[in-house]
Structure 1
């Protein structure tokens, strides 16, 4: 299965998603912001970055750009609960697999992760 980095500043949501993905057989690594996420990727590469867009320190847009530059084999899936944040992803179409709208159900995030990994 895949190694997935979950970068999300809401700890409860991050843990909830990580647990669900581990039940699907994936290995998960967690980060509370984009800078911590980039540090995690530099320590241990991942197959997929699942990142919130709006986070402190470094947002998901910058994290996506830096991940694509440093780790081009890592697939990127973003999450957001804000319509204006989704609009910011237009420039990322070549490097981001998809953007998942919050709130989402467990089946929705599992399907999005599965599709991102398969694509």
Structure 2
């Protein structure tokens, strides 16, 4: 079962996404900020980091950069309502799929499946 680390600061969206992704067959650990995600990255294996970009303390881009140091083969996907603004920031942005809010759960799970299938094909 693929494992996802979900970092989303919206207290209504986070549990909704966690339940929906678990129903779709993923093992999901959900946190409300990037700084809370780092210990999980240090101690556990995940196949995908699914992160909002705009979060308190450590934004999603910083988290993805930390992820690339701790788990370089882990895939990253951003979900955000501020994609165009946030990704223009003057810093190195990890290669990642960006899905803009609002989105349909079908689109989210389809993109996750696609990312994980591509990784599986490369690994073979």
TM-score (norm 2): 0.86
Native 8 Å contact 2:38 2:63 kept in 1 = yes
Change in CA separation of 1:52 and 1:38 when aligned onto 2, cut-off 3 Å: same
State yes or no: 1:113 paired with 2:112.
yes
Aligned pairs (5 A) from 1:82-93? 82=82, 83-88=84-89, 91-92=92-93
- Cα RMSD after superposing both structures: 1.7
1:97 deviates by: 3.1
Structure 2 partner of 1:13: 13
1:96 deviates by: 2.7
Q: Distance in 2 between matches of 1:45 and 1:5?
A: 9
Unaligned runs of 5+ in 1: none
Count of aligned pairs between the two proteins: 117
Native 8 Å contact 1:79 1:100 kept in 2 = yes
TM-score (norm 1): 0.90
Secondary structure of the residue aligned to 1:100 is strand
Change in CA separation of 1:76 and 1:103 when aligned onto 2, cut-off 3 Å: same
Change in CA separation of 1:89 and 1:108 when aligned onto 2, cut-off 3 Å: farther
